[in-house]
Structure 1
Amino acid sequence: MPRADDSVESEGRTPRMLRFIRSPLARKIVTFNLLALVILVAGVLYLSPARDSLVQQRARDLVAEARLAADVFEVRLPRNGPVSLAGGDGLDPAETLAALDLPPGVTARLYDPRGNLVVQRAGPARPDPVEGLSQEAPRTVLTDFLTGVWQALFRLVGATPAPDAPAGQEALSGELVQRAAQGRAVVRATEDASGRTIFAVAVPILQGDRVVGVLQLVSSGEEIDALVRAGREQVLQVFVIALLVSVGLSLVLASTIANPIADLAAAAEAGVDGSVRRRRSRKVRIPDLSGRPDEIGRLSAALRGMVTALYQRIESNEQFAADVAHEIKNPLASLRSAIGTLRVTQREDQRQRLLEVIEHDVRRLDRLVSDISNASRLDSELVKEEEEPFDLLKMLGNLTDYLGNEARTKGIEFITDMPPEPIIIHGLEARLAQVFVNLISNAISFCQEGDAIRVWARRREDRVLVVVEDTGPGIPEGALTKIFERFYSERPEGQFGNNSGLGLAISKQIVEAHGGVIWAENIRPTDADVTSEPLGARFVVGLPL
């Protein structure tokens, strides 16, 4: 995993595992993953569908066994003679019950129709061992501990017996015998005081259609409890394994998320913490995690881009401030010199000339301050203003009508060439109009009487090109890449000081804010001879549609 940059070295000195433990995000990831696993396992154990199925199956088996035993009694009953199980008339209850092969753990009780116990007999305590069948599920300290924890939780949040449930086995037996004496089989499953499952079934013994007795079988559900406990222990064992795997994977996942975000946050905080700035003079550097193919990689790349843009803006502002100071010093120096000379000059014509110089420099300073103010506000205004669709050709037509008249008054031929179809673009109409005013005004200022200016536009697939051409002196080759810099100016003689050198720089800033491009080139008689004298200058603005 990429390490943090030196700019977050104090954060990097903290052990990564300690940083991970302290991370709220990492703790949330681990907690939520474990919570989902715990809810899943608790739901499986609480619902216990396997136990319910085993209980139903055991109850059916016990009913079948009780009916078979009752059939034995019914077969031995006389067909028409009187029968009294309590007095032994017509049937020997003890002998018949002794002849039954009771399953292990089953107790048989014989009642007369009034519910009086006649005789009872218990089957063997344990089944005979059978090769190939496990008598008891293996137990371990871990499973015993987990089972104890689960039973405690189950007693804490588990369901309580219904209020009308029998309080003990005697009440249960009495209820079952009473219902069975009415001629139907009844089965119940309950728990004793120790929590073991108890099954009780009562079936009537019939002589024809008359109930002469009730046979009750009571069986312990230890086998079912053992099977359920074994299943629960297996679930808990799998839960422990899944818990360890989930924790491990959560730690890995959280570390791949929390640690990089902590590095990014520490680097970002270093840029706003005053104490860090005083302690470290180096730039704030965001860790480079852009190689990661996920959102953290995108976040790292975005933060690095933002920091780079911020430092570029700071450097640009610093350079702009230095350029402003330099540009202002020139007219101030001229003013200082003119005022000093004015104090000692006696001739009126020289004093008048010096006053003209002072007035020119004051106008130059005023123009410079105004352009600087506009340029400094341009960034924020470009962000605040809302772009709207407008017809570019209509806007150009209004500009060329006005500026074309100005050019013609100077003897300059002004030509426009626009397509017939309107061109709709999204942008700031007023700002783009400022761009084309600057370009056309520059062309007019460089042209003399007899020259020509041509403004034309063409649509090219997903963008539109607007071109301003003139037949002036052209642009010096060394200035083609400089004319868009702030305060750079290549003016004809006699126009010095009439421009701040910010017009083209502002135009470039506006065009690029719209996602477009602007460049300048010379018009030559042939492209094969780049050393030939230019026939004029060409400015091209490309804007997206």
Structure 2
Amino acid sequence: MAADSGAAALAFVPGRRLSLTPRILIINLLPLLLLGGGVFYLDSYRKQLLDERYKLARVEAQITAEALAGASRERQEALLIQIGKEQKMRLRMFDAQGRLWADSFALDEPSFAFDTPGDETWQENFARWLDRAVDAIVGADPIPNYIESESTDADAWPELKRAREDNLTRIQLRDASDGTPVINTAAPVGLKGATLLTTRNAVDITLEVREARGTLISAVLLALLMSTLLSLYMARTIVTPLRLLANATTRVRQGRDRQVEVPRLPARHDEIGQLARAISDMTATLRQRIDAVEHFAADVAHEIKNPLASLRSAVESLARVEDPDLRRQLNDIAAHDVRRIDRLVSEISEASRIDAEMSRATFESIDLVALSDNIIRRREARDLNGGRPISFTYPRGGASVMGVPIRLERVIDNLLDNAVSFSPSDAPIELTIDRDEARVLLSVCDHGPGIPEGAREKVFRRFHSDRPEEEGFGQHSGLGLAIAQTIAEAHDGTLLAGARPDGTSGACMTLALPDAAGAATRR
């Protein structure tokens, strides 16, 4: 269930049709793109600044109107000039009939000036274009353009007209030609119907917003550049070796290049390096198994061909032979060949399925002393030792291993069969169990001719058969020791052939298996 859940989770990854490089780029760039979206939310910052400026403009207009209400005409003109210069505003006074009678820009030098269209730099034009783009994206309310009316009448300004009608302070926002906000504030002056119109070009608001936006954009672009470079570097360090591994494994699967080498990436000590070495080792193991299967198939064909040829010759000859004794001999040969073929098929079938069975088997704790004792008793009861006595020596504390009982029983049986075949009829066979650090050692020794040192590995080859002369031909398939070694290796153990430790004639087969405690921990 856990594996299925993990596979389902991996299969549900969004964009799984994309390669790793765009996925890494998207994952790393998406947060930065979202951060870049903060450029558009600077519009709320601009609105806050304008709201504060509205309040300030209202207070300034009302205070100025109160100061002007009680002053003489000369004093009023002086105040208009002074306040206009200090606050960088344009102040205009209208009488009760709505006629302009005082203008700070006419009384003295203007305190500010709008940029003339066409004189801006490309940076200013780009900034103004970006302002309009952001307003369009966020859906900002349209703002009327600031156009200086040629008329000097108060009704030329809607905010001034409303202030005269309502006798209240009114504010109107407009956009100058350079994209900066212009705040007009109309306030009644005194009780005789005069009104004041103040005009402020809030360039500082636009500059602050543009500066904040420029800083944010610069930071986001720099972060995007760095993130893109780092993402590409990361993708290269991940995707390139994975692509090499995929190409190599594809060539291995297609079998077009027998000598293709799966890169092991020895310089990498991360998970990809571990994966590369694991795939390389797995490929080597698969090749060994394929080679073993091919050789095994060839050996099987060769071993079965001989008894089949003999059987065919005997059967074909039966039809032409009239002599009863000769026919009986031919029948015996045919029966012997059939038994030999049956034995070969059984042994081959078992040898071919051991690996698969052992990979699925569940190991359990086995008392190797008790298992060996039961095997010895069974063999003696069935007279499988040919009258040869078996001496059994084992440690007092016993010995336990982890494994499959029926398979380890087969190993011990094969070792005893081999010892019986080579031992003289009156010579004992010694079965010894001992302990060596974290291993349990089981040895089966005979008093036969022994095995030459150069041939001790060959005895474990499949279909290797070097039998005693007195033993009937075809009684063994040559697979017994090969099967025993395969079972031993499947138990994380070894099976080796050697000489007797006492130096006398004979051979010893030693099975070494991990101790039960250590084996259980590893598995």
SS at match of 1:483: helix
Deviation digits for residues 53-73 of structure 1 (CA, Å, limit 9, x no counterpart): 755775676567557635634
Structure 1 position 501 matched with structure 2 position 478: yes
Per the alignment, residue 446 of structure 2 pairs with: 471
Superposed, 1:292-311 pairs within 5 Å as: 292-311=268-287
Match status 1:442 vs 2:421: no
| 1:228 pairs with 2:205 | no
Matched, 1:197 2:181: yes
Cα 1:48–1:147 change in 2 (3 A) is same
Identify the residue that residue 500 of structure 2 maps to in structure 1.
Answer: 523
Residues 253, 454 of structure 1: CA spacing in aligned structure 2 closer, same or farther, 3 A cutoff?
A: closer
Q: Which whole-Å deviations, capped at 9, do the CAs of 1:308-353 have from their partners, x for residues lacking one?
A: 2222222111111111122123323443555566667666555434
Q: Secondary structure at the match of 1:101?
A: helix
In structure 2, C-alpha distance between the alignment counterparts of 1:272 and 1:456, rounded to whole Å: 45
Query: Residue type matched to 2:244 in 1?
Result: D
The structure showing larger relative contact order (alpha-carbon pairs under 8 Å, at least 6 residues apart) is 1
Task: Determine the structure 2 residue equivalent to 1:391.
Answer: 366
Contact 1:403 1:440 in 2 (8 A): no
Paired residue type of 1:331 = P
3-state SS of paired residue (1:500): coil
Q: Distance in 2 between matches of 1:143 and 1:503?
A: 92
Is contact 2:399–2:435 with CA below 8 Å preserved after alignment? no
Amino acid at match of 1:40: L
Q: Find the counterpart in structure 2 of residue 154 from structure 1.
A: 134
Extract unaligned runs of 5+ from structure 2. Answer: 1-16, 114-118, 147-155
Equivalent residue of 2:289, what SS? helix
Is the CA contact 2:251–2:257 (under 8 Å) kept in the aligned structure 1?
Answer: no
Q: Closer, same or farther in 2 for the Cα pair 1:95/1:144, shift >3 Å?
A: closer
How has the CA–CA distance of structure 1 residues 283 and 450 changed in structure 2, closer, same or farther, with 3 Å as cutoff? closer
Looking at structure 2, the residues matched to 71 and 465 of structure 1 have their Cα atoms a distance apart, in angstroms, of 109
Say which of 76, 80, 83 aligns to 1:98.
Answer: 80
Gap change, CA 1:214 and 1:175, over 3 Å in 2: same
CA distance in 1, matches of 2:67, 2:477: 122
1:47 shift after superposition: 3.5
Q: 1:377 aligns with which of 353, 358, 362?
A: 353
> For 1:120 and 1:518, how far apart are their aligned partners in 2?
116
Q: For each residue in 1:59-103, what CA deviation from the matched residue of structure 2 results, as whole angstroms up to 9, or x when unmatched?
A: 6765675576356347x47xxxxxxxxxxxx98895475354224
SS of 1:436 mapped into structure 2: helix
Give 1:102's aligned amino acid: G
- Number of the residue aligned with 1:540: 511
Structure 1 unpaired stretches of 5+: 1-21, 78-89, 129-137, 526-531
* Structure 1 residues 94 and 72: CA distance shift in structure 2, 3 A: closer
Judge conservation of contact 1:97–1:121 (CA < 8 Å) in 2: no
Residue 11 of structure 1: aligned partner = none
1:219 aligned to which of 200, 225, 242: 200
Counterpart of 1:28 (choices 23, 29, 52) is 23
**SS of residue in 1 equivalent to 2:458:** coil
The AA in structure 2 aligned to 1:512 is E
Q: CA deviation at 1:196?
A: 3.7
Letter in 2 for 1:415: F
Equivalents in 2 of 1:520, 1:173: separation in Å?
115
Shift of 1:437: 3.1
Evaluate the alpha carbon distance shift between residue 331 and residue 243 of structure 1 in structure 2; reply closer, same or farther with a 3 A threshold: same
CA contact (8 A) 2:58 2:171 kept: no
TM-score, normalised on structure 1?
0.70
Q: 2:336 aligns with which of 360, 371, 374?
A: 360
Matched, 1:69 2:64: yes
Number of aligned pairs?
A: 476
Deviation at 1:141, TM superposition (A): 4.4
CA apart distance, 1:296: 3.5
Report the alpha carbon displacement of residue 41 of structure 1 after superposing the two structures with TM. 2.0
Select the residue among 417, 427, 439 that pairs with 2:394. 417
CA distance in 2, matches of 1:507, 1:343: 43
Deviation of 1:431 after TM superposition, in Å, equals 3.0
Change (3 A) 1:161 1:23: closer
Task: Output aligned runs, 1:275-294, within 5 Å.
Answer: 280=256, 282-294=258-270
Q: Which residue of 412, 424, 433 corresponds with 1:456? A: 433
Q: 1:320 is matched with which residue: 296, 305, 313? A: 296
SS of 2:471's equivalent in the other structure is coil
- Structure 1 residues 215-241: Cα deviation after superposition (integer angstroms, max 9, x where no partner): 774422222213322443344345444
After superposition, what is the alpha-carbon deviation per residue over 1:468-520, rounded to whole angstroms, capped at 9, x for unaligned?
32333143433311121111133333154222111221222222223222222
Change (3 A) 1:365 1:65: same
Any conservation in 2 of the 1:189–1:197 contact (CA below 8 Å)?
Answer: no
The farther-off stretch of 65-74 and 488-497 is 65-74
Q: 1:341-366 deviations in whole A, cap 9, x for unaligned? A: 66676665554344333322221111
Check the 8 A contact 1:523/1:537 in 2, yes or no.
Answer: yes
Distance 2:479 2:124 in 1: 82
